[in-house]
């Protein structure tokens, strides 16, 4: 919810770097309102936390104060309210922006190493300690 305009010498703390000014239109209706149905709102919130903001690239659209993030929240809430599944909305966004848009890695081969990493690390660790611990009693 912060907006930092210029980067200045020495220290910069860029929470969001708006290159352009904001529009004169008010935020879209569903960008800062909750859906009346609590279950749908929870679905929307969970999805919004997974979608990376295109403007403030270190934040999800749930946290970002950028207008485009607001419009994306509006899009997510409208589609959820219309009965669309969160996974379908996420796939629709990935179709347009690539897997970059999703903070949750996709199931594509390029992301497999990420999901295999914990298993591989556990196995490698177990292999390293295999002779360090005596498994059978005396």
**For residues 7 and 14, is the Cβ–Cβ distance under 8 A?**
yes
CB of 85 to other proteins, least distance (A): 16
Burial environment of residue 74 by CB neighbours within 10 A (0 to 12, 13 to 18, 19 or more) = middle
The whole-angstrom separation of Cα 9 and Cα 12 is 7
Beta-bridged to residue 51, according to DSSP, are: 102
CB of 33 to other proteins, least distance (A): 6
CB of 125 to other proteins, least distance (A): 4
Structure tokens at 69: 């993030």
- The nearer residue to other proteins, 82 or 135, going by C-beta atoms, is 135
The string of DSSP codes covering 51-106 is BBPSSSTTSBTTT---HHHHHHHHHHHHHHHTT--HHHHHHHHHHHH-GGGBSS--
- The nearer residue to other proteins, 83 or 119, going by C-beta atoms, is 119
- The nearer residue to other proteins, 40 or 60, going by C-beta atoms, is 60
CB of 53 to other proteins, least distance (A): 10
- The nearer residue to other proteins, 83 or 127, going by C-beta atoms, is 127
């Amino acid at each position: 919810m912060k907006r930092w305009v210029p980067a200045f010498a020495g220290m910069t703390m860029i929470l969001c770097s708006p290159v352009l000014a904001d529009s004169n239109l008010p935020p879209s209706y569903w960008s800062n309102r909750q859906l009346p149905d609590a279950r749908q709102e929870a679905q929307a919130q969970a999805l919004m936390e997974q979608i990376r903001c295109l403007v403030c690239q270190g934040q999800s659209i749930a946290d970002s104060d950028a207008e485009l993030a607001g419009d994306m929240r509006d899009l997510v809430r409208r589609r959820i309210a219309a009965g669309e599944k969160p996974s379908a909305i996420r796939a629709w966004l990935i179709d347009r922006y690539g897997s970059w848009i999703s903070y949750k890695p996709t199931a594509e081969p390029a992301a497999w190493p990420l999901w295999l990493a914990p298993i591989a690390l556990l196995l490698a660790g177990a292999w390293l300690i295999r002779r360090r611990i005596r498994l059978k009693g005396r």
